[in-house]
């Protein structure tokens, strides 16, 4: 078994097809297929199922993949360690960010880090909290900024960056607008505008409602916080958002911006900087984490 066998397996699974994997690896497609078959013969089991449109890992393939990824990561870590001893910072750093967050959260620190280390490959991926947690656990991301109602899930460490109460954002002429607060029962009786399931904020809302045997009636879902607030300002429903979201430039500049009404009992959400337990591998990823924590 050689490293290229593992590299080809990971590339095929991640790309979804042998053709896409070959293009990403800059090798001929027959070569990828031949190396994959050789690995399957050596392990004594098929590792992927070749469907008409996509390749999916078999049970054996799913068992092998974490070890393949770990072996490839170990090789990169060894290269990075030697580069670090020579006073260089090289390698690849993958950053994740929840789609609901404003671009100001990571644009400056990650952009500055990438500009200061042009020899690094720094990538940024957006997604839901659930998607990015899976990416972190699989080793495809090094660090991420995500929302959780409480502590990060098992296998991840983190630091709380911001903790905010959720509020009901409504149009200026909405019946809720003149109230001192709205209850969870009030929210359950109205069409809501909120983030889709898979986001930390939505998890906090759903958990608070479920604790009172209530269920959200969601009319509009979007991962874009500004869109949620624009819909609320138009009277399309009640947006449930973190209180600081109403201060975003795109919202405050509206002719009739939405009004924030506190929710009782208070529901809070936390924004975390998270990484795999034990810290990210490689000096480049650790350097970015230290930079973000500062």
Inform me whether the pLDDT recorded for 80 exceeds 80: no
pLDDT at position 251 over 80: no
Work out the average pLDDT over 135-160. Answer: 88
pLDDT attached to residue 250? 67
Query: Are residue 222 and residue 145 in the same domain, yes or no?
Result: no
pLDDT (0 to 100) of residue 4:
84
- Is 171 found in the same domain as 151? no
Name the domain boundary from 64, 82, 100: 82
Last residue of a domain, one of 41, 59, 82: 82
Lowest-confidence region among 75-79, 184-188, 223-227: 75-79
Per-residue pLDDT band at 82 (split at 50, 70, 90): low
Q: 50 and 73: one domain?
A: yes
**pLDDT interval class at 211 (50, 70, 90):** very high
* pLDDT at residue 179, rounded to an integer: 94
Residue 33 has pLDDT above 80, yes or no: yes
Asked if 139 and 285 sit in the same domain, the reply is yes
Number of domains in the chain: 3
Does 179 share its domain with 266? yes
Q: Are residues 280 and 221 in the same domain?
A: no
CATH number reported for the structural domain that contains residue 66 in this entry: 1.10.10.10
CATH number at residue 276: 3.40.190.10
Q: Are 12 and 18 in contact (CB under 8 A)?
A: yes
The stretch 7-35 carries a mean pLDDT of: 85
Q: How confident is the model at residue 56 (pLDDT cuts 50, 70, 90)?
A: confident
Same domain, 145 and 288: yes
Task: Pick the last residue of a domain from 23, 47, 82.
Answer: 82
Between β-strands 156-170 and 238-242, what pairing exists: parallel, antiparallel or unpaired? antiparallel
Greatest Cα pair distance, the chain, in angstroms, is 71
One domain, residues 119 and 129:
yes
Residues 174 and 247 in one domain: yes
Region 114-127: mean pLDDT is 86
244 and 289, same domain (yes or no): no
Band the pLDDT of 202: cuts 50, 70, 90.
very high
In this structure, are 181 and 48 located in the same domain? no
40: containing domain: 3-82
- Cβ(7)–Cβ(25) below 8 Å: yes
* Same domain (yes/no): 152, 167: no
Tell me the pLDDT band of 90, cut-offs 50, 70 and 90. Answer: low
pLDDT of residue 194: 94
Lowest mean pLDDT among 47-61, 70-84, 221-235: 70-84
Does the reported pTM lie above 0.95?
no
- Average pLDDT of span 27-42: 86
Mean pLDDT of the region 223-244: 92
pLDDT digits (tens, 9 = 90+) for 57-77: 889 888 888 888 888 877 877
């Amino acid at each position: 078994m050689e490293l290229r066998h593992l590299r080809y397996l990971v590339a095929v699974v991640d790309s979804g097809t042998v053709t896409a994997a070959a293009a990403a690896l800059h090798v001929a497609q027959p070569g990828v297929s031949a190396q994959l078959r050789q690995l399957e013969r050596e392990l004594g089991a098929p590792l992927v199922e070749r469907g008409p449109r996509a390749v999916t890992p078999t049970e054996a393939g799913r068992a092998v993949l974490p070890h393949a990824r770990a072996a490839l990561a170990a090789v990169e870590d060894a290269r990075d360690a030697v580069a670090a001893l020579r006073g260089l910072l090289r390698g690849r750093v993958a950053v994740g960010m929840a789609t609901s967050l404003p671009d100001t959260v990571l644009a400056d620190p990650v952009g500055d880090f990438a500009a200061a280390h042009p020899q690094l490959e720094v990538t940024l991926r957006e997604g839901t909290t659930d998607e990015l947690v899976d990416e972190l656990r699989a080793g495809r991301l090094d660090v991420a900024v995500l929302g959780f109602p409480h502590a990060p899930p098992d296998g991840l460490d983190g630091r709380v960056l911001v903790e905010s109460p959720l509020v009901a954002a409504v149009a200026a002429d909405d019946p809720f607008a003149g109230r001192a607060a709205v209850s969870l029962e009030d929210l359950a009786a109205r069409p809501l505008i909120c983030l889709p399931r898979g986001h930390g904020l939505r998890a906090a809302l759903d958990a608070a409602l479920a604790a009172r045997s209530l269920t959200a009636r969601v009319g509009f879902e979007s991962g874009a916080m500004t869109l949620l607030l624009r819909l609320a300002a138009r009277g399309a429903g009640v947006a449930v958002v973190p209180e600081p979201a109403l201060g975003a430039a795109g919202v405050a500049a509206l002719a009739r911006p939405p009004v924030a009404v506190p929710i009782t009992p208070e529901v809070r959400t936390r924004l975390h900087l998270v990484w795999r337990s034990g810290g990210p591998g490689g000096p480049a990823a650790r350097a970015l984490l230290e930079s973000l924590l500062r």
